[in-house]
A and B are shown apart, each in its own frame.
Chain A
Amino acid sequence: MDDTPRNADFDVALTMDAAQPPVLDRTVQGLLGTAMDRPDGPLKVTGTARYAAEALPENLVTGFLVRATITKGRVIGMKAEAVEAMPGVIRVMTGHPLLRNPAQGQAHQAPEQILPKVDYFGQPVALVVAETFEQARHAAQALVVTYEEEVAEVDPNAASQVDKPKASQLDQGDLEGAMRSSPVAIDTTYTTAPHSSAPMEPHASIAEWVDGRLQLRGSYQMLKHNVAELADSLGVDEARVRIHAPYVGGGFGSKLGIAPEAVAAAHAARELGRPVRVVMARDQVFEMTMRRTETTQRMRLACDADGLMTALAHEDRVSNLPGEAFSEPTAQGTHFLYGGANRRFTHEVARIHRPCAGSVRAPGEAVGMIALECAMDELAEAADIDPVELRIRNIPDTTPEGGQPYSERALERCLREGAERFGWSQRRGMAERLEGDWWVGMGVAAAVRTNMMEESIARVTLRPDGTALCETDMTDIGTGSYAILTQIVGEMLGLPREKVEVQIGDSDLPKSSGSGGSFGAQSCGSAVFLACQGVRKHLAERMEVAPDDLTLRDGRATGGNRQVALTDLVEAPMSAEGHVKPGETEDNFSIAGYGAHFAEVGVHRDTGEVRVHRMLGVFSIGRVLNMKTATSQCHGGMIWGIGSALTEEIMHDPRDGRIVNHNLAEYHIPVSLDVPQLDAMLLEDTRDDQANPIQAKGIGELGISGAAAAVGNAIRNACGVRVRDFPATPDKIFPHLPDVT
């Protein structure tokens, strides 16, 4: 980046206060929306994409984090000298500025720094730095730490401190009255287990101070916030921190906020005057980063004889460490998915000393939709109405709490087209289909995920050689940012993919939303789109036509009866910044992604093992930017749904809250054999013009929302067992299985 002042004449800023025209439906390059391969794919599959830990700056040393082995109390002693005398060991660091836990998403400031206090088992208490990784790890294991221990509460159901955030409570109408007077009412409680993001790449940082400025190679999702969090943690000015994160090996929320390894590495590098690498061991990823809270959710639903809902209550308890502002917004989707005039929401946060809870893919809907959509299945059963039909009947005209209109919402279409495609009409009654030793059944669930668009800036430069450069601090966490930004630029400027270069993952570039909350592609993509609008305006001026009369395709500009090669038209780099901000549309409309999940499962008649036979997801997210990466996101989400339905559970020790299964052998994410052929279908013709100027909504989290409920409902249909405590491991099913006669 150079410091010469740039010409801002063509910069385009937009605040989303009104619906936007579908400009991208009039461009003609034909690149956007296609299943274009990722430009970064070959680098990744050949191992040449450099991830955070893979650089080797000169003089590099390694740090290894040391974990607390008590749940609550304080560190009162540390035999650092003994460890510093071990071969290769350089220094043991403890105390400030080490973090208690990562920053929550978009926190923009330092997370808790409480040492010598300890708040959970596994909290980082020190960093041991040595010449080699093996020396550092061995010394970290040898370090003797003494503590003064306090009694700690670790059980969310028995916690003495329970917060009830005011903004999350709601009482509308007369819930109890409606429950009593409605012909059909159910009152049911679901629990879900804590989850781990379990990204393939562990949290890793290499820190190096160059001329008083920190250069951090990290694995992070939202660089502008991470810079602020890191700077604040270290007590330095933001201008003295730069983060490089060109490739991120999965985040799923666990890399939203700056994490302990980055601050420890930066601190050690500053103290030692050498570059320091800190990579979390797998067990540390489980213990020292974010988990998804466990939940308890009481659902009360009632409807009239026609299935029209009269009452809906969603009351939940989640947990987190003391002092954490984040609490899982469990009922987020419940507020606007279905009608029902009489409503109640309560939300409780138990303050306990388990590892920190934070955002894990689709915070809110991922677990809230399990309870809601299984409860809807219970209501359908009680009302004797087909579950697809019941859902369709309860799609409200305006939001049931605020009376807002909805923007694009194809829920009914997703349900109907999905039912047709899946063969829903073949579904039989409960426990009526025994095939060999397996009970077979089908389940459905709606999918919904709140849409968010966040402020984003990007710069696009069209160069005299006919290529374009797109620059933003956006990250690619495996999702396909490189691909979709290439496509937006190519589509807008009429360039084939090879002519577009995308530079991201550097905090010195224009500040984007970053990746998180399914807002990355639409927010950053909108900024890139606006920047391209600026470049187009510039080109139109050159061509002496109105921007709308300009056609760009394959490196040529057409307008006013003229066709000119861009290489002839562009004499000096044409650069423009795009800047998008959320505005009134998000207050005036309820904006969300929608879909429907269908699952067919087999349940073993003796052992209660569940196998998903097939699964279909139909989704509507407005414009599809890249069919392949969007479909991949749906597949990933559906697989997460299978995981939360059947296998995934962080096990905490009941006495000290520690995570017992902190490795990928015992924390069971679905493996290939757990995942059948997945059918993910995206409605291609929908556009959400209230969401943003590219009419695209988030897809990263929609696929998980509701997916587990479809599996749970299919289990019920297959064998008659209603699982209300997820994951549905065999022990929760076999005791209730019907006898086979």
Chain B
Amino acid sequence: MRPFDYARADTTSDAATRAAAGATFLAGGTNLLDLMKLEVMAPEALVDVTRLDLHEVEATDESGLRIGALVTNSDLANHATVRAHYPVLSRALLSGATVQLRNKATTGGNLLQRTRCPYFYDTAAACNKRDPGTGCAAMEGRNRILAVLGASDHCIATHPSDMAVAMRALGARVVTEGPDGGRELDLGDLYRLPGDTPNIETVLSDGELITAVILPPPPAGAQSYVKVRDRASYAFALVSVAGVVAVEDGRITSANLAFGGLAPMPWRNEAVETALIGKAPSTETFDAAADILLADAKGHGDNDFKIPLARRTLRRALRELCERAA
């Protein structure tokens, strides 16, 4: 770990100003501190945002939910409204990491956690995300947990968050505040695909702080989060599906689906959802949706299996959802 300056921000604008001048936001630290110890990230200054007034979960005027960026993963998962009306989010959170980590991890930090690509964490490996232009050791290496959708020839990292996948399915919006004011954007617009600049992961500008996540009113239908992983708990997703599905008179009337473990960002493809609307639930219906989802999927050896596994996981999620929604 390199020596660094540390300051605690009292206001969001203080935090933004410091960050605009080069400091890195420190929230729960569960990802950032690990990366600093390994010198994968070596900020010269940290600005600790944990004392900012962003710890509340509140109802919005639109009957949705506004989640402060510093609400911990544990508190959010256990929040009564989230459990009752956004169970997919609660389930996703609880399927991530461990109790100890979730007690520290924050909503903002979770959205912006870095990939778990093993070569990203090994400073003796080529990695375009860590050191632009050095190459990608994962491409022909051990890439079991890496992406089959949305990746590029420069980087096949996955975004590891479970929470973000559920939020994407719920149509969450992200509220930020920066040196030049604030904005609100769709969660899907927060992330950038790697292209030839995998080191740039979001559209946030220097100093732009996530202050909250806004959930629209609870959607109709059944919700579930299915996460397939290499052990029963405390492992990142190989494939995950966050789903909200409504069924009326034996036909699917609405479907919101997002996918984890497959792509550099929580993945959503509206064509997959459209293909389900109006259809009667059946393996054929589900597989047709999977065909659309996976049309451009590309494996890299170790992770080839994710393509058929995604199909099967989607089948499982949709079958369960449709049974419960019917």
Contacts and interface: CB of A to CB of B under 8 A. Distances in A.
Do A and B associate with each other? yes
A607 B119 contact: no
Contacts of A731: 238, 305, 309
B142 A69 contact: no
17 contacts: A606-B312, A606-B315, A609-B228, A653-B142, A655-B141, A660-B118, A661-B118, A665-B116, A665-B235, A666-B116, A671-B231, A671-B233, A673-B232, A730-B228, A730-B238, A731-B238, A731-B305
Nearest to B233: A673
Contacts of B2: 138
A282 to B, nearest CB: 10
B315 to A, nearest CB: 6
Interface string A105-132: 0000000000000000000000000000
A647 B235 CA distance: 11
Contact of B234 (A608, A653, A671): A671
B17 interface: no
A653 B140 CA distance: 9
B308 A672 contact: no
B316 interface: yes
Interface in B280-326: 305, 308-309, 312-313, 315-316
A729 B315 CA distance: 19
Given A141-B39, A671-B233, A69 B124 contact: yes
Given A141-B39, A607-B316, 8 more contacts: A138-B3, A606-B315, A665-B234, A665-B236, A666-B118, A673-B231, A730-B309, A731-B238
Contacts of A663: 121
Nearest to A611: B232
Classify chain B: how many residues form its interface, as a range: 20 to 34
A611 B233 CA distance: 11
Contact of B312 (A141, A607, A673): A607
B142 A651 contact: yes
Nearest to A648: B231
A556 interface: no
A670 B231 contact: yes
Interface in B219-241: 228, 230-236, 238
Nearest to A735: B308
B185 interface: no
A137 interface: yes
Nearest to B316: A606
Contacts of B80: none
B144 interface: yes
Nearest to A653: B141
Interface string B66-79: 00000000000000
Contacts of B313: 606-607
A647 B118 contact: no
Nearest to B101: A665
Given A141-B123, A660-B142, A647 B230 contact: yes
B1 interface: yes
Contacts of B141: 653-655, 660
Task: List the 6 shortest-distance A-B pairs measured between CB atoms, nearest first.
Answer: A731-B305, A673-B232, A69-B124, A673-B233, A606-B316, A606-B312
Contacts of B236: 665
Q: Which of A609, A611, A660, A671 has the most CB of B within 10 A?
A: A660
Residue picked from A67, A608, A653, A671, most chain B C-beta under 10 Å: A653
Contacts of A666: 116, 118, 145
Contacts of B234: 665, 671, 673
A336 to B, nearest CB: 34
A138 B1 contact: yes
A604 interface: yes
A107 to B, nearest CB: 30
Contacts of A69: 124
Contacts of A672: 233
Contacts of B309: 607, 730-731, 734
Interface in A312-364: none
Contacts of A674: 231-233
Interface string A706-732: 000000000000000000000001110
A134 interface: yes
Interface string A641-674: 0000011000111110010110101101011111
B231 A646 contact: yes
A437 interface: yes
Contacts of B142: 651-654, 660-661
A23 B137 CA distance: 63
Interface in A357-377: none
Nearest to A670: B231
Contacts of A655: 140-141
Interface in A591-638: 604, 606-609, 611
Interface string B34-69: 000101000000000000000000000000000000
Interface string B138-159: 0011101100000000000000
A468 to B, nearest CB: 43
Interface in A222-260: none
Contacts of B123: 141
A137 B236 CA distance: 28
Contact of A668 (B3, B122, B124, B230): B230
Interface string A130-155: 00001001100100000000000000
Contacts of B232: 609, 611, 671, 673-674
Contacts of B119: 660
A67 B123 CA distance: 12
B110 to A, nearest CB: 16
A665 B238 CA distance: 14
Nearest to A87: B3
A604 B316 contact: yes
Contacts of B140: 654-655
Contacts of A658: 122
Q: Of A646, A665, A673, which is in contact with the most chain B CB atoms at under 10 Å from its CB?
A: A665
A130 to B, nearest CB: 13
B316 A437 contact: yes
Nearest to B39: A141
Contacts of B124: 67, 69
Q: Which of B122, B230, B236, B316 counts the most A-chain CB atoms under 10 A from its CB?
A: B230
B141 to A, nearest CB: 5
Contacts of B235: 665, 668
Nearest to B121: A663
Contacts of A141: 39, 123
Which among A69, A655, A658 has the greatest number of chain B C-beta atoms within 10 A? A658
Contacts of A673: 231-234
Nearest to A141: B39
Contacts of A653: 137, 141-142
Given A141-B39, A651-B142, A671-B234, A607 B1 contact: no
A660 B141 CA distance: 9
A64 to B, nearest CB: 11
B226 to A, nearest CB: 8
A734 B308 contact: yes
A660 B39 CA distance: 17
Interface in A46-71: 67, 69
Among A646, A651, A655, A730, chain B packs the most CB atoms within 10 A around the CB of A730
A729 B231 CA distance: 8
